[in-house]
């Protein structure tokens, strides 16, 4: 069975001679070394080291296409504008122009070979390929998280064309293609410990708290928020950690309330994401303050006046 999921994302285009240099100086990862047709994720952080957004950069050589979180392109532009002084850097909001499909699951290698003519095993998470079909261009590359699938980026102007091509009736039947619904995706995301914008990635958290050390260069030098993040790492001063939680009951409450986590009656954290499935019961992602982290103890989720017993889990969950 082959699965697909429509990923919601905003897009920006960066132009100018300083297009990579500026992002390098404003974000956590080494961006200056990104080669043409390279893909790299980096995190925009505030001067306090808090998360503005995670950007996925696609370097076309003379411009950079950047994917950011849905509904957040304006905030990203506002953040960048604060630091553009004498730089040759222009940003264009491409909101509503492109779509992303994630393909994952069994037979993805055979499907990719049949649809694109490419060997799936030759595709990497570090570079992308441009596919040309009937005068249309699209982007493909390997996904870099637990879904281990294929990312396909296309122009929304060509959506009908690509949907007819990618979801041809014979292909759908041959590979048992089905859409991953929101609940399935959320369950997989939580089990895999993948943080999500607004829920986990926001201006109340920093990259180290969210387990995103792989997107932080500790050797490249200064960037906005670097001093704070380096100090947290050097002196092991991360104040809270993203962990998994498991519970038996359904949480019938708004996530906007950020249900609190308590240990022996003391508030020590909060729930950022949760879902309930027949296979796993209640699961979620949460942040617990470092002094209270003890995976052998029993915690409680406090939702209004309701107390729900839960266990905290090291990420990713063990299925």
Computed over its alpha carbons, how large is the radius of gyration of the chain?
21
Q: Which of 184, 214, 237 is the last residue of a domain?
A: 237
- Based on the fold, state whether residues 277 and 223 are members of the same structural domain: no
* pLDDT tens track for 205-246: 999 999 999 999 999 989 999 999 999 999 899 999 999 999
- Based on the fold, state whether residues 211 and 280 are members of the same structural domain: no
Q: What does 108-123 look like in DSSP terms, one character per residue?
A: HHHHHHHHHS--GGG-
What pLDDT does residue 149 have? 93
- Based on the fold, state whether residues 216 and 73 are members of the same structural domain: yes
* pLDDT tens track for 112-128: 999 999 999 999 999 99
DSSP-based three-state secondary structure for 103: strand
- Based on the fold, state whether residues 7 and 111 are members of the same structural domain: yes
Residue 284: give the domain boundaries: 239-319
Distance separating alpha carbons of residues 76 and 72, to the nearest angstrom: 6
- Based on the fold, state whether residues 13 and 34 are members of the same structural domain: yes
* pLDDT tens track for 51-105: 999 999 999 999 999 999 999 999 999 999 999 999 999 999 999 999 999 999 9
* pLDDT tens track for 207-216: 999 999 999 9
Q: Which of 189, 217, 237 is the last residue of a domain?
A: 237
Q: How far is CA 142 from CA 40, 80, 145, in A?
A: 12, 28, 9
- Based on the fold, state whether residues 59 and 91 are members of the same structural domain: yes
- Based on the fold, state whether residues 15 and 40 are members of the same structural domain: yes
Q: What is the DSSP letter of 110?
A: H
Number of separate domains in the chain? 2
- Based on the fold, state whether residues 70 and 128 are members of the same structural domain: yes
For the chain, first and last CA: distance in Å?
20
pTM listed for this prediction: 0.95
- Based on the fold, state whether residues 7 and 106 are members of the same structural domain: yes
- Based on the fold, state whether residues 256 and 228 are members of the same structural domain: no
Task: Look up residue 1 and give its two tokens.
Answer: 């069975």
* pLDDT tens track for 295-316: 999 999 998 778 899 999 999 9
- Based on the fold, state whether residues 151 and 79 are members of the same structural domain: yes
Tell me if 196 is assigned to some domain. no
């Amino acid at each position: 069975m082959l699965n697909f999921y429509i990923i919601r994302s905003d897009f920006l285009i960066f132009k100018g001679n300083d297009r990579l240099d500026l992002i390098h100086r404003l974000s956590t990862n080494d961006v200056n070394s990104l080669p043409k047709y390279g893909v790299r994720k980096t995190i925009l952080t505030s001067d306090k080291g808090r998360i503005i957004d995670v950007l996925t950069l696609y370097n076309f050589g003379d411009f950079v296409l950047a994917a950011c979180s849905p509904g957040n392109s304006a905030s990203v532009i506002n953040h960048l504008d604060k630091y553009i002084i004498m730089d040759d850097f222009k940003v264009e909001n491409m909101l509503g122009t492109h779509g992303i499909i994630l393909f994952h699951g069994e037979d993805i290698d055979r499907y990719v070979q049949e649809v694109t003519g490419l060997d799936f095993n030759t595709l990497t998470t570090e570079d992308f390929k441009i596919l040309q079909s009937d005068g249309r261009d699209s982007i493909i590359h390997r996904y870099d998280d637990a879904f281990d699938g294929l990312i396909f980026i296309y122009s929304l102007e060509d959506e009908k064309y690509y949907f007819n091509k990618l979801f041809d009736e014979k292909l759908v039947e041959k590979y048992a293609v089905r859409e991953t619904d929101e609940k399935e995706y959320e369950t997989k995301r939580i089990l895999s410990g993948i943080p999500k914008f607004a829920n986990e990635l926001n201006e109340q958290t920093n990259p180290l708290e969210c387990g995103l050390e792989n997107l932080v260069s500790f050797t490249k030098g200064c960037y906005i928020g670097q001093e704070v993040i380096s100090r947290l790492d050097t002196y092991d001063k991360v104040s809270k950690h993203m962990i998994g939680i498991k519970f038996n009951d359904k949480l019938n409450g708004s996530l906007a309330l950020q249900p609190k986590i308590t240990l022996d009656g003391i508030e020590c954290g909060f729930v950022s994401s949760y879902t309930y499935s027949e296979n796993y019961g209640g699961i979620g992602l949460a942040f617990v303050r470092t002094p209270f982290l003890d995976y052998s103890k029993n915690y409680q989720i406090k939702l209004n006046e309701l107390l729900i017993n839960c266990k905290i889990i090291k990420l990713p969950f063990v299925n």
